[in-house]
Chains A and B, each alone.
Chain A
């Protein structure tokens, strides 16, 4: 119904047969999309499908190579560098654009502070900011520093900032990627509010169930082509996935091979204590995929950072192959066959300002030392191998990693860690912010690893993922292990009950 209303109104922003090439490489082919006031318009597609480019064109950060942009039915050339904000078109980047050390109020008025005879009118600005925050229904004080806010709250501040600029079109790049479910709900309520005020909202998401829930219309891109714009109600998540990928996605999760219950224990952790971790015990068998579930901040990452020498252990035992060990550096853990793959690929995983090659070999660099120097030929071969093995697709092998799509970055990160040929891999959020096609590839890869006898730990906040690929699931809450699930007990219901603290395994 929303769509019918929308059709009556004229589109506020319209992309008309937009094409875009970077150098000689085309990334968008004659894509059209119209955005109406008061609608939520989801833009979906695999990584590299051209979503980001289209968003940047719609907000003026890129100029189209050909095609027209219509704003209020007038052809316009949007001003570059975010100046389209003045027209009411605001792009909220995935990496939020806030000055961490300044307050909410200062951020919202950054660059357009209200002054009176050269002096800041702080009271007036604070009042106005309170108004904006109330408008979207969030309870944040205007005088709090951004660095003290959670990611979700920061996002709200970005939204408030957009509203304060009288945004008519709000374009958001994966706004829910880093939000918990509860935060996502809150965020959606704010989206509804904005919508009722007639703001047009465009958002990119890889979470198709969310798209179904919140979007009025969906535009699907694949390989830079416009596949279709449809009313969201008429689409199931499966149908969306199929349109994105262009093939059946029946087997998102690979067939699970039976876990060998008699396989040797390669990693045993006994009563581990570290900051954020309390008396954690578990073990991992050869060839097993062990899921770690729990809320964000439940200590899952901390456990493995402690095990791998990234964090100091205050007490407890770590046994690798039955021998007690304590890794004081990541290098010793790596040499013992342990590798931890961070969830934060941009800040901790990859050197974004470097090309693929130095990134790929960085973790296992000692392997490439011959006599005193690095073996450039071996490094090159490793890259060729990794590109094939992990199906890394880039326009140009020499682009900086920061310019690659999220899915390809994740594949590169996996390749980088696998260069050390670990026996135990800990993968933290293996598919955060990547498309469904790439997810499938990564799941299959993980399953293949386990089948080869590598032991894999998957830390994930996406429950279907943990359920879909784990042999056993450890659920954590507030730094403690609440329970270990096996077989048919691995289901959403059970995990939630443990994660929320409603249930706890009694252990002797």
Chain B
């Protein structure tokens, strides 16, 4: 990195920009090296697929969260939403089994309902924020509590379990592989690509950025601010439902502890990835790396006795704070001003 100072100012700017955007990638690379040094098994094919699969849930949700946050919003309800959707999905599939039998139709019905529920729940968040003119933090804090208690209520305080006959049919969605990669990883990849295109190549993505950057300017620029903001929550809901669809076959159950803290992990992934929390600047690629970084930390701690696995949260917290500190970019600017 020492050759940076030797380059001209124009280049200097570009190099600094690259460091800022490549930061999450470098961090992930460093983590992988550390992981490998601590235990060569870290880079085994089995562990890597496991790592990717685990990242899929948070990653998919975080892609949705990137849109919400870029447009200046926040969604705290995603974890509870996932739990509620999982619960309702299980109830629907269990009861549909009597008429449709434990086959593909039942599973498809469950998945379809999951997606409808996700879109609906996201729409509710969006409309309450835009038409209701209530702050997103408050709205989603409210729906977070509502969804969480709903799943507890449906499960009667215990656990909702998917019928074993259906589990057999549904199982491959989590445990199955296509072309050597687990199914959840494929979903993650598809969601990431769609998200990236939507954010960087469409008018919608531009509108999200504009709204997050300055809502008044967006309004005066003929952008339908309420509609776009609502859409971001609907996208978030869709992402949550997709994550739920691949999560349910993993354990085949839902309870009050399903999806706890997912909202914070998703937001953390977004922020580590370089998206600005107050909106106006969103990076899907960074979000994906952010999700991988968070999962990798937990994974490495599992592999080593050096640090207790119970300190997972501490490590994640440190990474978030360091990531944001590095992205602040003041240290680069201060240097430039001095010259």
Binding site for B on A (CB under 8 A): 23-24, 63, 310, 329-331, 333-334, 340, 342, 347-354, 358, 362-363, 365-366, 368-369, 372-374, 416, 420
Is the beta-carbon distance between A331 and B224 smaller than 8 angstroms?
yes
Nearest-Cβ distance from residue B189 to partner chain A, whole angstroms: 20
Is the beta-carbon distance between B220 and A358 smaller than 8 angstroms?
no
User: Total A-B residue pairs with C-beta atoms closer than 8 Å?
Assistant: 76
Is the beta-carbon distance between A349 and B217 smaller than 8 angstroms?
yes
Given A351-B213, A354-B213, A374 contacting B9 (CB threshold 8 A): no
A-B contacts besides A366-B203, A374-B202, 18 pairs, CB < 8 Å: A23-B13, A24-B10, A334-B222, A347-B216, A348-B216, A351-B213, A351-B214, A353-B280, A354-B209, A354-B213, A354-B280, A358-B209, A358-B210, A362-B223, A365-B207, A369-B203, A372-B202, A373-B202
Is the beta-carbon distance between B210 and A347 smaller than 8 angstroms?
no
B202: chain A residues at CB < 8 Å are 369, 372-374
Task: Name B207's closest neighbour in chain A (CB-CB).
Answer: A365
Separation of A185 and B202 alpha carbons in the complex (Å): 51
B210: chain A residues at CB < 8 Å are 351, 354, 358, 362
Is the beta-carbon distance between B217 and A351 smaller than 8 angstroms?
yes
Is the beta-carbon distance between B220 and A348 smaller than 8 angstroms?
yes
Choose among A333, A340, A350, A373 the residue that contacts B201 (Cβ–Cβ < 8 A): A373
Task: Name B220's closest neighbour in chain A (CB-CB).
Answer: A348
Within 8 A of A (CB), among B189-208: 197, 201-203, 206-207
Separation of A350 and B336 alpha carbons in the complex (Å): 26
Is the beta-carbon distance between A363 and B222 smaller than 8 angstroms?
yes
Decide yes or no whether B2 CB sits under 8 A from chain A.
no
Within 8 A of A (CB), among B106-130: none
Separation of A365 and B206 alpha carbons in the complex (Å): 9
Separation of A331 and B218 alpha carbons in the complex (Å): 11
Decide yes or no whether B8 CB sits under 8 A from chain A.
yes
Nearest-Cβ distance from residue B64 to partner chain A, whole angstroms: 19
Binding site for A on B (CB under 8 A): 8-10, 13, 197, 201-203, 206-207, 209-210, 213-214, 216-224, 280-281, 336-337
Is the beta-carbon distance between A330 and B209 smaller than 8 angstroms?
no
Is the beta-carbon distance between A352 and B222 smaller than 8 angstroms?
no
Task: Name A339's closest neighbour in chain B (CB-CB).
Answer: B222
Separation of A347 and B216 alpha carbons in the complex (Å): 7
Nearest-Cβ distance from residue B218 to partner chain A, whole angstroms: 8
Is the beta-carbon distance between B217 and A23 smaller than 8 angstroms?
no
Separation of A499 and B132 alpha carbons in the complex (Å): 40
Is the beta-carbon distance between A363 and B219 smaller than 8 angstroms?
no
Separation of A316 and B8 alpha carbons in the complex (Å): 62
Task: Name A366's closest neighbour in chain B (CB-CB).
Answer: B203
Separation of A366 and B223 alpha carbons in the complex (Å): 10
A-B pairs, top 5 by smallest CB distance, nearest first, are: A330-B222, A373-B201, A23-B9, A331-B222, A362-B221
A362: chain B residues at CB < 8 Å are 206, 210, 217-218, 221, 223
Task: Name A373's closest neighbour in chain B (CB-CB).
Answer: B201
Is the beta-carbon distance between A374 and B201 smaller than 8 angstroms?
yes
In the assembled complex, 19 residue pairs joining A and B whose CB atoms fall closer than 8 Å, in A order, are: A23-B9, A23-B10, A310-B219, A330-B219, A331-B223, A334-B222, A348-B216, A350-B217, A351-B210, A351-B213, A353-B280, A354-B210, A354-B280, A358-B210, A362-B206, A362-B223, A363-B222, A366-B203, A374-B202
Separation of A365 and B202 alpha carbons in the complex (Å): 10
Task: Name B213's closest neighbour in chain A (CB-CB).
Answer: A351
Separation of A416 and B210 alpha carbons in the complex (Å): 14
Is the beta-carbon distance between B216 and A329 smaller than 8 angstroms?
no
Choose among A330, A372, A420 the residue that contacts B220 (Cβ–Cβ < 8 A): A330
Is the beta-carbon distance between A330 and B203 smaller than 8 angstroms?
no
A24: chain B residues at CB < 8 Å are 8-10
Separation of A24 and B13 alpha carbons in the complex (Å): 12
A351: chain B residues at CB < 8 Å are 210, 213-214, 217, 280
Separation of A373 and B222 alpha carbons in the complex (Å): 19
A366: chain B residues at CB < 8 Å are 203
A365: chain B residues at CB < 8 Å are 203, 206-207
Separation of A427 and B220 alpha carbons in the complex (Å): 13
A342: chain B residues at CB < 8 Å are 220
Separation of A169 and B281 alpha carbons in the complex (Å): 40
Choose among B201, B203, B220 the residue that contacts A349 (Cβ–Cβ < 8 A): B220
Is the beta-carbon distance between A347 and B214 smaller than 8 angstroms?
yes
B280: chain A residues at CB < 8 Å are 351, 353-354
Task: Name A340's closest neighbour in chain B (CB-CB).
Answer: B220
A420: chain B residues at CB < 8 Å are 222
Nearest-Cβ distance from residue A368 to partner chain B, whole angstroms: 7
Is the beta-carbon distance between B9 and A373 smaller than 8 angstroms?
no
Nearest-Cβ distance from residue B230 to partner chain A, whole angstroms: 14
Greatest chain B CB density within 10 A among A63, A330, A349, A353 is at A330
A329: chain B residues at CB < 8 Å are 222, 224
Nearest-Cβ distance from residue A189 to partner chain B, whole angstroms: 35
